[in-house]
Amino acid sequence: MPTSKIISGKTTFRSTYADSNALWQVVRSLGKGTYLCEIVNETVEIDGRVYNGDYAGVQKAFLRTEILTSLNFQDFWSNLKNDCEDFYNSLREGQIVHYSNGFGQFIRCEAVTVDDKIQLKSIALVGNWRDFDLPRRYPDGGIEYGYYPKKVMEQEVFRPNASNIWEFKSEGDDPSLLNPIDITVPDMNSEQSHVADLWVRVNRIRGMLENHSNDPQAILDRVKEYVRSF
């Protein structure tokens, strides 16, 4: 429920000041929907060391609408975090859900328990993945697997925010009805292997020609010797 009450001496909220996301406390009303606020002295522990806030005691006037906007924003993220935990707590091992990468691209995931928490194991790609997102073979036979296919191949386990899981909101077309995309790269036939081998040799020669030696004859001699080895 949206926050609507501001109490002098009690209400705190966050707002930027200089290079910090400072915690402010309402000191008193200045009238006409304006409040005098002061930065609270916070202690933060980083790598075992305790730091005090640099701007404690700084005062500034805020409009009521500015304070309420900050408070309601904090409530939104707090509720979203609670909803996220509730969602994961509702999952059972083996349940299938879908992480949305946007634009109709999904990673199909299986709920698994890791470190006593339900997390998601990547098991397939479904949806509108583009060709350059998927594994492909280079002319020399090498394979570029791609960022997201690697996640599936390695069955990466992660725990994204529930707002990125289709089943959390169930908006739009249901990705559970989609077939998984085949991310295997076919073996090369004999002709393709032959061409790939030629490209390997061409790339080796390119490397020799791009050598930073100051002796061009030495470079050409190495190329000739390599070509004679075929």
Q: What is the pLDDT of residues 182-215, one digit of tens each?
A: 999 988 888 878 887 888 788 888 888 887 677 8
In the predicted structure, residue 49 carries a pLDDT above the cut 60: no
Regarding whether 107 and 156 lie in a shared domain, the answer is yes
- C-alpha torsion sign, points 154, 157, 158, 163: positive
219: in domain: yes
Regarding whether 137 and 115 lie in a shared domain, the answer is yes
- For residues 186 and 17, what is the distance between their CA atoms, to the nearest angstrom? 57
pLDDT of residue 220: 81
- For residues 74 and 82, what is the distance between their CA atoms, to the nearest angstrom? 12
Structure tokens belonging to residue 9: 């001496």
Give the distance from CA 143 to its chain's centroid: 24
Across all residues in the chain, what is the average pLDDT? 85
215: in domain: yes
Give the distance from CA 206 to its chain's centroid: 37
Q: In the structure, what pLDDT confidence band is assigned to residue 61 with cuts at 50, 70 and 90?
A: very high
7: in domain: no
152: in domain: yes
- For residues 15 and 133, what is the distance between their CA atoms, to the nearest angstrom? 40
What pTM value is reported for the model?
0.56
pLDDT of residue 1: 46
Regarding whether 100 and 78 lie in a shared domain, the answer is no
